Every structure is written in C-alpha cells, then in structure tokens.
Structure 1
Amino acid sequence: MQGRLQSTRLVLACLAGLLASALMRAPESGAERAGWLEPHIEFYWPEEGEEPVPAVILFSGCGGVRQQQSEYADAANRAGVAALVVDSHAARGIGRLAGRLLVCTGLRMRGQARAGDVFSALQIARNDPRIDGERIALAGWSHGGWTLLDALSYARDAAAPPGLERLPAVPLEGVRGVLLVYPYCGWIIRADREPIVADIPVTAWLVEKDRIANPNACAQVFERQGQHGAAIDWTLYEGLTHAFDAPDQPFDPRMEYDEDATRQAHARFAAWLNESLAGDASPR
C-alpha cells in the first residue's frame, strides 16, 4: 500500500511538472525578466530619512498579494525602510482563482520558477538611486518563503532557475538578511535537497497550528541546511495558524486571523529590519 501511494505521488509530481513546463516562459535574461516584472512591483517609501534608504523586498503567498503585504510594507516604512511588494501573480496574468487552483496546488509557478523574480527584483532595487543597494532584505510568506529558500539554493550553486538564462555575477549582492514566514518546506522544494548560501542570515517564523505548510518539515530542512553551514534562526509560535496575519484571506478552516499576534509580528518585523539593515557595510 505504501509503495502504491509513493508511486502515485511520483506520477502526480511528474504530471504537475509537465504542466508547469508547458506554461513556463522560454529562458530570458535578467533584464528581460525585470522589464515585465517591474510594472507589477509596488513601492512604499518612508516619510522620513535621507536617501538612499535601505529596502526590503516582499514576496506573497500562493494566493497573491493581499492586505497582509501592504501592512508589513507600512511597518517597514515606519522603521525608515522602503518596501517593494512583488506581485509575481499579476506579472504572469494569474488572478485570485487561478492562484488558489493552480499556484497553491503546485501546478503553476512553483517556487523554483518564481525564484527568478527574486534576482530580477534585486536588480530593480539596486538600480533605483533612492535605495541603498548595499542594505537590502528579503521577506517571503508561505509560497514566497519557498521561493526565497530556492533562490538561496540557486545562488549557492550559481545555477540559473527555470526561466532565466543565467544568474548575475553576484546574485544576492547587497542582501543583508532573509525572513521566512510560515514557509512551505515540502519535498518538492529544491532546498530540501540542495544547500543554500551560508553567508546570509536567515530568520524563520513557524506556527504551531499550521495545516498548510508543515512546520516539522521546515525544522528538518533547516537542520539539514545547518549541517551545510547555513545560518537559520527559527522560532515556533504556539497557538497560531497559517496566515494568522492576513485579515483578508478567503474562508479556510485551516486559517484563523489573530489581530493581536499580527501587531506583534509587525513589531518583530520592524525590529528584524533594524537589526539586519543597520550599519553601512554589506556582508556580500
């Protein structure tokens, strides 16, 4: 019985991979990717602070950009940090329903393919004179966390993710820290098998009642990555579900919004940004 289930799982994964390949764009340069991605990046600017300012680039979950990202962007602005919210879904013409039916099920835009958006968004940020290109942070929620983990693994190997011809010479130039919020760490992610970069600190917030992105799977991935030298500092928050900080999620009994925990998360986010982006010298 176990063998039959494993075989079925492999067949479904292969079919999903074939569908994803059929929908994928031909390999393109980082500049080409940046060209069609930039119109779908929303910039949030702090009211105070001298330019250039540090920045954080935000990647949403599989359902697409929601109020959640704008609230974290506002928290970044209050901390004196610019925020770039990347709408990978809109850039590919993926609406709300398609996001839930295709992206959330792994049939389209897996984290490996979306990883190219990370490198192009970094290029866009570094090319903006209002942004300090030596002080950039990355943050991803759920599918966005998967995306960042796999981007870190491609950077470690100097390998281009699906859809990109090649990586920049220094793919993660200026990146000071990475935040993963209830990331998806299932067996299909590249970082489950391949090591990630070891010279950028990674912080992860896992939640105890997560029935969508298993926190135990993440703990196992983080432990293996630590054996390869990765610096991952993770915390499990009790009593919280997946998307606890998303006030406008569609109904799902597995997710419960927690207003108080969300306020605390925004404060932790600002503190993490201040710690990660302090000073003038970049570790990369």
Structure 2
Amino acid sequence: MTTFVLVPGGFTGGWVWEETAARLGRAGAETHPVTLTGMDGLSGETGIGLETHVEDLVRLIDGLAAAEVVLVGHGYGLHPVLGAADRRPGRVARIVALDTILPQDGEPAERSVPDPGGRAGADGRVPPPTRETRSRWGDLEGVPEETLVRLERLAVPQPADTLTAPLRLTGAASALPVTGVLCTAAGSSVAMVEMLVESGPPRFRALADDRIRFLELATGHWPMLSAPAALAETLLLAAAGEGRRVTAPADERPTHFRPFLEGVRDVPEVPRERHGRVDLHLPDAEGPRPAIVFVHGGPVDPDQRPTPRDTPFLLGYGRLAAGAGAVGATLDHRLHGLADYALAADDLAEAVALVRADPRVDGERIALWFFSGGGLLTADWLAAPPPWLRCVAATYPMLAPLPGWEAVEPRFRPVDAVGTADGPPVVLTRAGREHPAIAATVEEFLTAAGKRGARVETVDVPHGRHSFELLDPTEESARAVERAMAAVLALLEE
C-alpha cells in the first residue's frame, strides 16, 4: 500500500485534495492531505515561516507507520516538501512536483510560484487572491465555477515569511526519485522540459538525471480541483515510477556556449569597451553612429559564467552590428527569476541612457533588439516609445508571459502594448520549429498588431529552432540573421 502525503499550494489547506484523496483511497492507497500551520483560517499564531511548515511535515512523517511515503507538493507546497525530504530522506520513497518548478537551495518560494500578491498586511500575512485577482492562482483551466467560488471562499492569508524565507537544503535528499507532473493546459509539457535541458544551464541539465521522470496531465495548474480522477491515476503512476525520462543532448555544451553560426559565417572581432553592465562593440567609422542595444533572454542563473554579454551569442550580434557600421551594445541585466522583470527593465533603461550619452553614438538613432524571454521587456518601449527609438527588433521572443508565469508583473505584456502608441516599427524573427507555447504568444502579438495598425516586418526561419543561430547553424539561419540586421539598419537610417 502506497502512502501519500499531499501538500497544497499557497493560501489553501488540505481540503483542496478531498476528491483526489478519496479516489486514491478507493484504489487502496493511504492518504494524508495536509493543512499547514496557520493555513486553517482559525489560528492567530504568529512567527510562522517556511521552517514551521517543514517541521509540520517532519512531525507527520515521523508519526506514520509506513516505512516510506510519497511526498506530493503543489505550488508553494513543494518548498516544505523538499525541506522535509532533506530532513528525512530515508522515509521518502519519491517526491512528486505537481506542476511546479523544482526550487534550489537558498531559493524563496516567492521566486518560483505564482505572484503571491506582493505586500503583507500589518499582521504579517499576504492576502489571498480574490475574484478580481484570479490570475494570481495560476492557470485555472477546467476548474468549475462553483469550485472557484469555494476556492475563494476558503482561501486564507499566507504568512509572508513562508514565501520570503530561503529554502535550506543540505543535499541529503538529492538522490531521491522525483516525478514532475506537468499540466499541459498551464503551459508545462515534456517538450518544454526538453527545451530547457537543451538550453544548458546546470539547474535545467539536472532535469535529465536518471532519477527524474515526467508525466503529463491535460488540465490547468489546479488538477486536484479540475481533474481529481485523472490526478489520482497520475499520482499512482508516479508512485510506481512510471513516466518519461528527458535526456541531455549528445552535444554536452550548453546552448549559450556554442559558437555563433558555427561553420557558416565568420564574424570578425571588433574593438570592445566595457562600461559597467554594458559593452560597446565599436565600428570602424567616423562621427556619431546609430546604435543597437541587444537584450538577452532569461531567466538566467545569477552564477552563470560567462555572463550573457561574454557568450558567443551576444558577442556575435554585437560584432555584426559593428561590422555593419553601427555601435553594438550588449548588457548583463538582472533577469534571474520570473519576479525580476522590473529589475531587468531598470537595468535596460540605465544601459540605454549610457549608450545614448556616449559621444560616438547618435543618440537620436537607437534600436533595441530583444531575444527569447527578454521579449517581455519590449512592453515598456511599445507602450511609451521615445522619439529617438527608431526600431524594436525581437528574435524568437516571448511576447506574453507563458502559462504558469503569473509571477511576471502584468506590465510586461507586449501583446497588450503593441499598437497602443505611435511607436517605431517592429522587426520580428520567427523560428519555424518554435516551442508551441512561445509561438502562440507571437501569433497573438501579430494579431494584435494587425488590428491596431502597428508596423511589423517578419523574418521567418522555417527550419530553425529557438536559438537557431547556435542550434541550427545553416545558410537559412545565417540569411535570416542578415535580413533582420539589414532591416534594423535600414530603419535606423530612415
């Protein structure tokens, strides 16, 4: 008989698991839906933090007769689950991460779960989402309206320290089997995990470990409310070790370490100067020159080395711009988590001011070129474009937060900003083999641009993947980069 400990996400208690627990019970499993300290809506206890909730689970595990348990964590609940597994690794048969990113040591919950709503009240608690702020729950696909009403009625404030305290792990549970249950209606999928693994950062490459398996569930982020029967079946499969393994690519180099258009185009070096967060790639040309500021994607691990501006990717684009007679500016911004877009936007604004102030730059002829997850940063510039901004370029961009990215502030939605102001033209490069969730945001953006009369020039790479300049170094890729660069330079000269 399998014993499940079911730990809910923020603002909720064990009641969210009622139907799933009942179905698991009928299948012969023992279930323990958990209401963590302070989450019953009755207790006025203070001083509750993440460590309190870790201790809740440790005490529960210690009191169970089962030799081993399966710990299931949803949203915030995965943080105390991992903390408890770290304390009692010998009692844990498997960890199930239910539509939630595996956090790392030192990472607070507020960086990896849907937006907790920001500020705690005077009582030190963060108020729960309401009907007006339902997006803070994450994707609610499939949840019946009456269940949503109940969710909002029973939701309770979350002690702020549970969201802001760093998760502390010793590594004692690092060998435990893990199953990620991916809710596809919320944007998670095995294909998305494969893309992350291929991208190369260590935290994503770790998902290719043989101890990790993945199962998909065709519903939204709250399957215990939208599809309890299917979730129960999926949890039983997880406990049995079923699921797909994601493997690392044969080329072990992280994507961002691979050469720029390797074997297809030789991009000569140019003089480069470092100014704080910004590097200037300087052309061999007289007089103030137009500038292109290249904005990398993310989130990027803060410990990544080399940092983005020193990778072959940004070096390649900076040198291309300089070789064509423009100043190519690259920067490292602080997009280290989904809640960091405002920080990254500040870094970008500071970088643009620095570039425009340089005497070798024509400050009235500036283009901004965004990549991947950095695409969300276009929103500010599309909503309130300055007169000196001649062009916004975006290559395989995300143009709306992906499903499950509720930690991203609503301000960063380019699909809502495009065409709302008399802004500069957009040069948009699309990868034909783009991940469906990202491609959907591009199509939504183009539809909005068409309705609002925004000027968008598209450059297509039919056989290219996300990061095609590194993953697919072909003539098609090289020509697409050159077409996009020519389009941007032409707009700078208008």
TM-score clears 0.5: yes
Give the match for residue 178 of structure 1.
Answer: 392
Q: Does residue 1:81 correspond to 2:321, yes or no?
A: no
2:279 aligned with 1:42? yes
Matched, 1:263 2:364: no
- Give the RMSD, CA atoms, in angstroms: 3.4
C-alpha contact 2:371 2:397 (8 A) present in aligned 1? yes
Match of 2:368 among 123, 138, 150: 138
Confirm or deny: 8 A CA contact 1:51 1:130 kept in the other structure. yes
Maintained 8 Å contact 2:278/2:329: yes
State which of 447, 451, 457 in structure 2 corresponds to 1:223. 447
Cα distance between partner residues in 1 of 2:439 and 2:348: 23
**182-191 or 127-136, which moves further after superposition?**
182-191
Shift of 1:194: 4.1
Q: Which residue in 2 is equivalent to 1:272?
A: 487
Aligned mate of 2:357, from 124, 127, 134: 127
The 5-angstrom pairing of residues 1-284 of structure 1 reads 12-15=113-116, 38-47=275-284, 49-62=285-298, 63=300, 64-65=308-309, 66-89=311-334, 102-103=336-337, 106=338, 108-110=339-341, 112-148=342-378, 150-155=379-384, 172-187=386-401, 189-195=412-418, 196-211=420-435, 214-246=438-470, 256-279=471-494
| Distance in 2 (alpha carbons) for counterparts of 1:116 and 1:220 | 26
- The answer to whether the 8 A contact 2:432-2:465 is kept is yes
Alpha-carbon distance, 1:60 to partner: 0.8
2:453 is paired with a residue whose SS is: coil
CA contact (8 A) 1:43 1:84 kept: yes
Equivalent-residue separation in structure 1 for 2:318 and 2:117 (angstroms): 33
Amino acid paired to 1:59: V
Task: Report if aligned partners of 1:244, 1:261 keep a CA contact under 8 Å in 2.
Answer: no
How far is the alpha carbon of 1:46 from its aligned partner?
0.5
Unaligned runs of 5+ in 2: 1-73, 75-97, 100-111, 120-159, 166-273, 301-307, 406-411
Change over 3 Å in CA distance of 1:192–1:273 after alignment to 2: closer
Whose relative contact order is higher, 1 or 2, with alpha carbons under 8 Å and at least 6 apart? 1
Contact 1:152 1:197 in 2 (8 A): no
Number of equivalences: 219
Deviation at residue 192 of structure 1 after TM alignment:
3.4
Secondary structure of 2:399's aligned partner: coil
Report if the CA contact (8 A) 2:399-2:413 is conserved: no
Give 1:190 shift: 2.2
Corresponding residue number in structure 2 for 1:250: none
Give the alignment's TM-score, normalised by structure 1.
Answer: 0.66
**Distance (whole Å) between structure 2 residues aligned to residue 272 and residue 132 of structure 1:** 18
Secondary structure of 2:469's partner?
coil
Q: CA shift at 1:137, angstroms?
A: 0.9
Alignment-mate amino acid for residue 109 of structure 1: D
2:19 — aligned with what?
none
1:273–1:235 distance in 2 versus 1, CA, 3 Å = closer
Q: Distance in 2 between matches of 1:191 and 1:230?
A: 12
Report the CA distance shift for 1:174/1:232 in structure 2 as closer, same or farther (over 3 A): same
- Quote the offset at 1:130 in angstroms: 0.9
Q: Secondary structure at the match of 1:242?
A: coil
The answer on whether the counterparts of 1:55 and 1:83 sit within 8 Å (CA) in structure 2 is: yes
* Shift in alpha-carbon separation, 1:197–1:234, aligned structure 2, 3 A: farther
1:131-176 Cα distance to aligned partner (Å, 9 max, x none) = 001111110111222212x222442xxxxxxxxxxxxxxx624111
TM-superposed CA distance for 1:185, in Å, is 2.3
Q: Kindly tell me: are residues 215 and 272 of structure 1, through their superposed partners in 2, closer, same or farther at Cα, counting changes over 3 Å?
A: same
Q: CA 1:44–1:230 in structure 2 vs 1: closer, same or farther (change >3 Å)?
A: same
Q: Distance in 1 between matches of 2:444 and 2:164?
A: 32
Q: Which runs of 5+ in 1 are unaligned?
A: 24-36, 90-98, 156-170, 247-255, 280-284
Contact 1:76 1:273 in 2 (8 A): no
Deviation at 1:202, TM superposition (A): 0.6
Is the CA contact 1:245–1:257 (under 8 Å) kept in the aligned structure 2?
Answer: yes
C-alpha distance 22-137 of structure 1, shift in aligned 2 (>3 A): farther
| 1:17 Cα deviation from its structure 2 partner | 6.7
Cα distance in 1 for residues equivalent to 2:459 and 2:480:
12
| Greater mean alpha carbon deviation, residues 174-183 or residues 259-268 | 259-268
Q: Looking at CA atoms only, which structure, 1 or 2, has the larger radius of gyration?
A: 2
Task: Indicate if the aligned counterparts of 2:429 and 2:458 stay in contact, CA closer than 8 A.
Answer: yes
